[in-house]
Structure 1
């Protein structure tokens, strides 16, 4: 406990899944947390969990696919706590988005320009907007940790979800570029690539792990991961334990990326 004591952390995608797990764990480790997603009721649940465990934080409902939404979030964090030590970029959509946005997880020839731009705005543009606003504060402080959530599909090819996989691949290289640009300013940037994590994002595909033979094709451990298993890796990157970890791409995928 106390690995993030007195640090201020912005966590996007905090309404569910990996983002929620990170916000709750960061708070338990002593950080003051500022959570964001589009849905206020989901954020309220996350904040209630933080408060129940004795943590401190606020939540901001905003659409981070727009510059205005990102500005709203950063302004709220600075107004409340005066600094940002950690930025966890966890906001994004995945296969579950297909249920309400048909065609969004298709191959290139099956994806309209409108759906392509929509997924890219949520999964990639949001990280650009947040980084460009937060990095100046971190540079002024002389330190900061940025953690970008990509995906195992950001480093492996896939027959569908091409907008998603393209955005996640871009996050990997954006992370490396942030490291190269801001390392001497004390700002670190690292990337976490989760595999099949039991979250609402993959709820439409999670049943494939019911079949052991099918599960073995996708993951040597033959199971999905949990949001907490990803959050523990993110705590390391957020903490001072990782001060020489910069530009790293960390796979938390049960060995999925090890498969040919």
Structure 2
């Protein structure tokens, strides 16, 4: 229970889903966690779960789609703990975002330039802003681990959600490029590529799994994954156990892409 003992982990998208699961599990494994999200109430719930379990951390409400938001998150982490050993880029939006932002999960023809930029800013620019600020801190410290949360949609063709798939593909190749550029500094960059995960992003689709035939057509395991299962993948990549793992994309999808 100490795979991240004494490490400082900065986790984005920490209010819900995979980011929140990372925050709780990393804290149980000994990390001091800093959770970042746009919604303070979600962050407060996540931090309460951490502290109730005996962990240590802080939260920062910030919009990471902007350079200013990323700066706020990094400065707060350094002020609290003095360094950043692990960065998990889990901030992002998915299909549920379209409920209040129509047109953001459509195909190219039906996506406005404004919607394109909006989703890219949240799902891809946020990772860029965070890496740009965190990598120099890791260089000063002699190393670190970056874990990006992408999606199997980053290497699949889909009939819709083209901005989302483009952003996830961009994050996959950003991960590989970070590996090539910064391995000499002791910085590892890896990613997980989740399949269909039971989070708020896709909750309107979850009833599909109630039909056994439909569920099996989605994934051989016939069920969605859990945020905790994704977080354990992030934990491995963040930990010293993955010391020779660099530039890897860990697919965690119940076998969905094995059929391709």
Give the TM-score category using the shorter length.
over 0.9
Aligned to 1:127: 127
Aligned to 2:94: 94
Aligned to 1:139: 139
Per-residue deviation, 1:126: 0.1
Aligned to 1:109: 109
For residues 245 and 106 of structure 1, the distance between their equivalents in structure 2, rounded to whole angstroms, comes to: 35
For residues 134 and 171 of structure 1, the distance between their equivalents in structure 2, rounded to whole angstroms, comes to: 16
For residues 178 and 66 of structure 2, the distance between their equivalents in structure 1, rounded to whole angstroms, comes to: 21
Instruction: Tell me the alpha carbon deviations over residues 70-126 of structure 1, each in whole angstroms, 9 at most, x when there is no partner.
Output: 000000000110000000000000000010001110000011110010000000000
User: Quick check: 207-216 or 196-205, which moved more?
Assistant: 207-216
Aligned to 1:252: 252
Per-residue deviation, 1:218: 1.5
For residues 208 and 109 of structure 2, the distance between their equivalents in structure 1, rounded to whole angstroms, comes to: 25
Within 5 Å, give how 1:41-56 maps onto structure 2.
41-56=41-56
Asked if 1:228 is matched to 2:228, the reply is yes
For residues 111 and 259 of structure 1, the distance between their equivalents in structure 2, rounded to whole angstroms, comes to: 30
Aligned to 2:27: 27
Runs of at least 5 residues in structure 1 that lack an aligned partner in the other structure: none
For residues 44 and 4 of structure 1, the distance between their equivalents in structure 2, rounded to whole angstroms, comes to: 22
Aligned to 1:167: 167
Aligned to 1:70: 70
Runs of at least 5 residues in structure 2 that lack an aligned partner in the other structure: none
Per-residue deviation, 1:217: 1.7
Aligned CA RMSD, in angstroms, stands at: 0.6
The TM-score normalised by the length of structure 1 is: 0.99
Aligned to 2:181: 181
For residues 155 and 244 of structure 1, the distance between their equivalents in structure 2, rounded to whole angstroms, comes to: 24
Instruction: Tell me the alpha carbon deviations over residues 26-65 of structure 1, each in whole angstroms, 9 at most, x when there is no partner.
Output: 0000000000000000000000000000000000000000
The TM-score normalised by the length of structure 2 is: 0.99
Aligned to 2:208: 208
Aligned to 1:6: 6
Per-residue deviation, 1:159: 0.6
